[in-house]
Amino acid sequence: MDSNQYLDAEQARFVQELLAFVRIPSVSAKPENIPDVVRAADWVAARLTAAGVEGAEVLPTDGHPVVCGHWLHAGADKPTVLIYGHFDVQPAEPFDLWDSPPFEPEIRDGRVWGRGASDDKGGMLVPILAVESLLKTTGRLPVNVKFFFEGQEEIGSPDLPPFVAANVDRLTADMIFSADGLQYAPDQPQIVEALKGLVKAEIVVRGPRSDQHSGLHGGGIANPAMALAHLLASMKSADGLVTVEGFYDDVIDLGLDDRAAIARIPYDEVSYLAETGAVSVFGELGYSTRERLWARPTLDVNGLTSGWQGIGSKTVLPAEARAKITCRLVAAQDPAAVLAALAAHVQAHCPAGVTAELLPGQGGAGPFLVPSGHNATGVAAQVLEEVYGKRPYRTRLGGSIPVMTTLLDVLGVHAVMFGFSHDDENLHAPNEFFRLEAFRLGQTAYVRLLQRLGG
């Protein structure tokens, strides 16, 4: 039996294991789910050991734990490969928009439906299964492999930088592959050459000491919710330009070659609108939608909260109003500089009659841009072309994987995104799903990747 036959023979079991993994509600953002994140870590360590990986263990950080393991018997002449993924998931709210409960996964239409099925439980299981198939059928791996799985990617990996710095020996590798990554379409691979950086913050606008009667005090004092609206509106123009002073200062603008490369990849705006349900595209003038999505920095409001939000009405003038915001950064923006620009803007544009404060969020990341000619990226592209029978598109991604920046900073290695999710799989949204076909194809791809790297 070769590894491919093994994968076919064991696939039904693997799918059941994925369902079990998704059933653990390892939501890293919610304090009540801390024990579930630990349970997920334990599950991953046990699964690594079952696959034949050595030294699999759960390691503490100041927050959610990390799981590491390794197989290092390929020989000193073979490269060492670090494989990354994450076992935490996004919150599943609002629950009522799910067709089936987010943590009671179901298989329908050849897909696993549940929170984390695609991002990244399905994804991170793929290389474990590939390694298992090689170890169980050949007794060895073609290269030295280290696994590095984390439980805080969805909150920006705040505790990873000190962990990585303190565990350089454990993580050192010649190449890094991230099992948290996307393919362009089920029949079209891609190589992701850039990730955006991330900055998080919360704006708090405060007015009266406590909520006030809107009749007795309306017109007398400022309304923090209205003031927040003015403050947010001052940060982005009506046509989508970020108007925070200095925001674009360090952005490396797209060259003609970059724009041509992006324009070569098919883009169907009708499909994009159908996928998202938006009435139209929207954003910074002078750039195509693809360019904005892939290579321009953004400022988005992730949440608003103020005053009465229940059924019916409560005629209050609220004491405060809050907005959670994130900026996605492109090379060569610096997260600290952007955060400082946001804070300065909030102070400079604080509306009359209220106070305003910018609270920096945990877990930022610098932008990530793979150098052209990067060797591991070239090998990954060859493998994808073999497996899919098509040349991969060279794309960029609007998302952020903060630990990629950390690994680059500490280990000096650019990671290659080698994952098999798709961006239509409702990542971070209700009704997340993962294609079982991609789950299987990814296993083959990882086997070939390891073989090619060792051969």
Tell me which residues in 292-311 interact with a second copy (CB under 8 A): 292-293, 296-311
**Helix intervals (H) in 139-222:** 160-166, 168-171, 214-217
Distance, in Å, from the CA atom of 79 to the CA atom of 352, rounded to the nearest integer, reads: 61
Among 1, 46, 50, 233, binds a second copy (CB under 8 A): 233
Contact set for a second copy, span 422-451 (CB under 8 A): 423, 426-431
Contact set for a second copy, span 128-167 (CB under 8 A): 154-156
Contact set for a second copy, span 238-297 (CB under 8 A): 238-240, 272, 276-284, 289, 292-293, 296-297
In the complex, the smallest distance separating the C-beta of residue 208 from a second copy, rounded to whole angstroms, is: 4
Whichever of 112 and 354 has its CB closer to a second copy, that residue is 354
**Helix intervals (H) in 200-253:** 214-217, 224-233
**Helix intervals (H) in 349-411:** 375-388, 402-411
Distance, in Å, from the CA atom of 248 to the CA atom of 284, rounded to the nearest integer, reads: 12
- Which secondary-structure segment (H or E) carries 82? strand 80-86
In the complex, the smallest distance separating the C-beta of residue 94 from a second copy, rounded to whole angstroms, is: 8
Q: Which of 164, 343, 139, 121 is nearest to 247 (CA)?
A: 343
Per the listing, tokens 């009266």 go with 208
In the complex, the smallest distance separating the C-beta of residue 154 from a second copy, rounded to whole angstroms, is: 8
Length of the chain: 455
Neighbouring C-beta atoms of residue 448, cutoff 10 Å: 20
In the complex, the smallest distance separating the C-beta of residue 294 from a second copy, rounded to whole angstroms, is: 9
Query: Contact between 90 and a second copy (CB under 8 A)?
Result: yes
Contact set for a second copy, span 326-355 (CB under 8 A): 326, 328, 351-355
Among 142, 151, 318, 367, binds a second copy (CB under 8 A): 318
In the complex, the smallest distance separating the C-beta of residue 73 from a second copy, rounded to whole angstroms, is: 38
Candidates 107-115, 130-138, 183-191, 419-427 — which segment interacts with a second copy by CB under 8 A?
Answer: 419-427
Among 61, 400, 406, 444, binds a second copy (CB under 8 A): 400
Provide the mask over 35-74, with x wherever binding to a second copy is found by CB under 8 A and - wherever it is not.
Answer: ----------------------------------------
Contact present, 359 and 201 (Cβ < 8 Å): yes
Candidates 5-13, 42-50, 172-180, 421-429 — which segment interacts with a second copy by CB under 8 A?
Answer: 421-429
Contact set for a second copy, span 173-232 (CB under 8 A): 196, 198, 200, 207-223, 225-226, 228-232
Distance, in Å, from the CA atom of 122 to the CA atom of 255, rounded to the nearest integer, reads: 36
In the complex, the smallest distance separating the C-beta of residue 50 from a second copy, rounded to whole angstroms, is: 32
Whichever of 69 and 364 has its CB closer to a second copy, that residue is 364
Query: Contact between 360 and a second copy (CB under 8 A)?
Result: no
Which residues pair with residue 188 across a beta bridge?
185
Per the listing, tokens 């606008």 go with 205
Whichever of 132 and 425 has its CB closer to a second copy, that residue is 425
Contact present, 291 and 268 (Cβ < 8 Å): no
Provide the mask over 92-111, with x wherever binding to a second copy is found by CB under 8 A and - wherever it is not.
Answer: -xx--x--------------
Distance, in Å, from the CA atom of 273 to the CA atom of 282, rounded to the nearest integer, reads: 11
Contact present, 405 and 364 (Cβ < 8 Å): no
- State the number of binding residues for a second copy (CB under 8 A): 105
Among 236, 345, 394, 414, binds a second copy (CB under 8 A): 236
How far, CA to CA in Å, does 348 sit from each of 125, 151, 244, 297, 323? 48, 38, 10, 22, 17
Candidates 54-62, 167-175, 380-388, 396-404 — which segment interacts with a second copy by CB under 8 A?
Answer: 396-404
Contact present, 36 and 44 (Cβ < 8 Å): no
Q: Which of 124, 128, 125, 1 is nearest to 53 (CA)?
A: 128
In the complex, the smallest distance separating the C-beta of residue 384 from a second copy, rounded to whole angstroms, is: 20
Whichever of 130 and 417 has its CB closer to a second copy, that residue is 417
Taken in order 260, 408, 154, 49, the sign of the CA dihedral is positive
